[in-house]
Structures are given as C-alpha cells and as structure tokens.
Amino acid sequence: MSFSRRRRVALGVTVVLAALLTLLLVYVFPVLPFVPRSTADLKYSVIDVAGDPLVCTGWGVPNGAFTPERDYPRIVADAPTYASILRHKHMPPVALTADQIVIVYREWLKLEAVRLSWNGSMYDFEMTPDGIGGHPEALRNNLQGNVDLFGHVTHVRESADMSACPICLAANSPIATPTGPVPVSKIKVGMRVWSVPADGVGVEATVLETRTRLDAPGSRLVRMVLADGREITASPLHRIGDGRPVGWLKIGDEVNGVRIATLELVADPSGRTYDLLPSGTTGEYWVDGILVESTLFARRPSR
C-alpha cells in the first residue's frame, strides 16, 4: 500500500472515529446516571412527568417575519439545548432539512415554556399545562414542583397562580388620558382616558373595567415601532383600531398613515399583560398615539 493511500485510509478512520465520538458525546454521555443533566434535559424530565406545557409563541400568527428560521441560529448557538433537542427527537448532529428545523423550533418553544429556578439544592419548576384544547387564552392553574440535577421530578402540584397565553398589553404601555400618559398597569376603574366614538372625534371616556393576567412561561409579545417613533408592545392577537391584530402586521405596512419600521417578538419582563375597557360605543383607546381596541369590549352587555 502506498504512503498516500495509507494516509487517506488513516484520515478516513479518523473522521469515522470523530463522528462516533461526537455521537457518544451528544447522545450518551449527557444522560449517563452519574452525569448532571443540562437545563434542557431537566426540562424534558419535567415534561415527561407533567405533560406538555402551553406554548403561546410562533404559531397561529400568519406573519412571515416570525419564522423558525429566524430563531434557529440562536437555538444552535445554545449547544447543550440544541444537543438535547436532537437527542430527544432522534436526529443526528448534521445539517437539518427545513422540516427538521421546524421540529427543533417547536421543541425549543416547549422548553422555553418550562421555567426553572435554583433553590440551593435543586430546581423549582413552574409551567402552564396545555390542558384546554383550542383555548390558549383560557386561564388554567400552573403546575409547580422540583427537579434535581439528575432529572428526578418530585412534588408536582397545582399552583395558586393561573396563567394563559397573553391577549393584552405590556405593563408599561402609555395610555392617553386628559392629564397625560399613564402606564396601563396603573389604570384604575373610574379613571378618565381618551377614546374615539364611531364619528371619529376624540372624547373623554370613563374606565369601566380593567384586566390583568399572568402570562404563561415562555410567552412573547410583539413590539411594533412606527417610522415616527411611536410604538406598542402587545400580544400578537391584540387588535389596533382598524381591526388588524398586531401579529398580522408586517414591516412597511401603515398604521394611522405611518409606515411600520420595526416588528420583533420580545419577552414580557413583567410576566403580566393588562387591558382596560373605556365607556362609549367602540371600546377604543390610545397607546402612545396608536389607536387600539379593548379585548374586553365584546363582553359588554348590549343595551
């Protein structure tokens, strides 16, 4: 055998051994009994015991700006999480097809919907169960419990907290009032806000009702910024004044005659969303100069 041929054979053997070692590291070593699990594997342990969590992000909003391909690079960059997803879905650590990327994205959303917090000896977990089919906005009791470093899940129980997919506004959304902007989280029943009746002339209205609710873990809101600097952060299905849901809008669309400059999915730092119902015939009010509809308006009794 010539030297060059032996060299090619040696190189081939090296490549095969490297591939086998990679597979061993990705699929076997992280789940050996004596090896602490990654946080992603711990979340999978919780899901195996408690069931699938409620996932509020990425689906049901027909907007090409929010796609699996957009988030895929940062999923891959989180190597332990990416490896955990590949292992659980029985995928090799090679270039993935478009369909496989969608699968990885869905799994990543599930993991994002399980919240872990270290208590000094193990993790406390909290998640919102996906137990009310077809009604992601319906409140349900969260599940909580413990999971140790090796994936043993204990003390699974219902929490007093109730969560759902968000349908309202971020806490710091500035509501237009006769005395100036007020964060929606500070709006109370009986306060006065600016509203718009059917004839389009702005009027003072009285707040008849407010809503506050916990968002399911992993929820994202849509942050929309107009070309003139006005912005709103709301759930994808919250409607602006002309009836379009925020999550259906695209960069370049116009709102109140102004082009949308930025659209992005963002985490809600407060973990709660808020809404209000003004008096009048439309249920509309202003957020940073952007007219929106109240999600509470449809529940008003007819007169």
CB 187 within 8 A of CB 274: yes
Mean pLDDT is lowest, of 20-24, 87-91, 93-97, 224-228, for 20-24
Predicted confidence band of residue 49 (pLDDT cuts 50, 70, 90): very high
Residue 301 is predicted with a pLDDT of 47
Q: What one-character-per-residue DSSP string does 218-287 give?
A: T-EEEEEEETTS-EEEE-TT-BBTTS-BGGG--TT-EETTEEEEEEEEEE-TTSEEEEEEESSSS-EEEE
Tens of pLDDT, residues 145-185: 999 999 999 999 999 999 998 989 999 999 999 999 999 99
Residue 68 is predicted with a pLDDT of 82
Residue with more model confidence, 175 or 13: 175
* CA 127 – CA 144 distance, rounded (Å): 7
| Residue 300 scores a pLDDT above 50 | no
When pLDDT is averaged across residues 236-259 and rounded to a whole number, the result is: 92
Residue 204 is predicted with a pLDDT of 95
Tens of pLDDT, residues 54-94: 988 754 565 666 778 888 899 999 988 999 999 999 888 88
Q: Bridge partners of 265?
A: 222
| Residue 243 scores a pLDDT above 80 | yes
